[in-house]
Chains A and B, each alone.
Chain A
Amino acid sequence: MSLTRRTQQWATFGRTWYLYDMKWQNPFHSARKIAYVLSGRNKPIFEDRTDCGDHVVAINSRHISLPGNEWEKRVYYHHTGYPGGATWTLAHELHAKDPTIIVEKAVYSALDKDLTRHGRMRKLHIFPDDKVPEKIMQNVTHQLRQMRPVPVRLDHIPKDVVDNFPKIFDWPKDFVLK
């Protein structure tokens, strides 16, 4: 095989590392997008049982956003195998225990349910904040677009910007805001 063809093959089958910022993202919608990349469905060389997927580095998993009242209503079930070993953990309790596990479980269930699943999960790297080890960060070349815009909080905007924002009228001095 000539050097050109060999390089072409390296380029075709080489892994790409994607960065995905989980901040204020729905983990269950994002999981579908991440699973799509992990299984290699974004490539023309895709094949069901071939390990042709890319790596995904998901950062800021501590700052995910669950829709509606799912922090209180979503329950994770676990059974130790012994009698009376069943536990039901609420999403916010699980998140307090380990801030990466909700994302991990979401991606795990979004992947194909076959023997390739564990190999594909190995290519997912989740970090609770934006501190990523240098060894992993130096591989990252691509970024996955966030699925929804990150809202800006009013108390995070500088005070002078808020004060100088144009407004139609001022509240009366004696008006009590509810």
Chain B
Amino acid sequence: MFLTNVLLKFPKFGRTRPHRYWRRRRILSMAGHFYGRRRKCFKIAIKGVHRSFMHTRNARKNRRFLMRRIFNTRLQAACQEFGVEFDTMRRTLLSLDIGLDRKILQTFAIWEPRTFRGLIMLTKAKTEVQGLNCLDPPPKGVITRGML
């Protein structure tokens, strides 16, 4: 059966669409949270729904930047509790080949504070080896064996 030929001649062959009411119902259900006629009248609601799809699409992209900004704020706060700048920590971990990104670091800061403190102590030990943080006393409990 040459389906293309048939479909070109009879577009509705073998394909049934839902009733017009239900088609509109699908759109209007997505406009349920709009205000005024924008949620009731299909002709106006469809514009709002398309526009909300557009915003959703943009938000999918922007969410990464927003989350990154929140991670930075959280990590700065978590590092400040130990008197370390997050920028110092990030660069030190990079130099030690510790591949932990912001997301996992902030998860440590919230859910595993002792793991995070360990990373901070490592940062302090490394900065002391570099001669950057010599004024403070050396952190306790960091055994480096001169390998940093």
Same complex origin of A and B: yes
B-contacting residues of A (Cβ < 8 Å)?
41-48
B residues in contact with A42, CB < 8 Å: 77, 80
A-B contact pairs, 6 of them (CB 8 A): A44-B78, A44-B81, A44-B106, A44-B113, A46-B74, A48-B70
The 8 A CB mask of B69-89 against A (1 = contact, 0 = none) is 010011101101100000000
Q: Is B129 an interface residue when CB atoms closer than 8 A count as contact?
A: no
A-contacting residues of B (Cβ < 8 Å)?
66, 70, 73-75, 77-78, 80-81, 106, 109-110, 113
A72 to chain B, nearest CB (A): 38
Q: Which of chain A's residues has its CB closest to B108's CB? A: A44
User: Per a CB cutoff under 8 Å, which of A41, A44, A47, A48 touches B109?
Assistant: A44
- Interface pairs A-B: 3 shortest CB-CB: A44-B109, A44-B78, A44-B74
Q: Are B77 and A43 in contact (CB under 8 A)?
A: yes
Q: Are B77 and A41 in contact (CB under 8 A)?
A: yes
B residues in contact with A43, CB < 8 Å: 74, 77
Q: Which of chain B's residues has its CB closest to A39's CB? A: B73
A residues in contact with B80, CB < 8 Å: 42
Q: Which of chain A's residues has its CB closest to B69's CB? A: A48
Q: Which of chain B's residues has its CB closest to A45's CB? A: B110
| Cα A154 to Cα B73 with chains together (Å) | 43
| Known A41-B77, A44-B77, A46-B77; further 7 A-B contacts with Cβ < 8 A | A42-B80, A43-B74, A44-B75, A44-B78, A44-B81, A44-B106, A44-B109
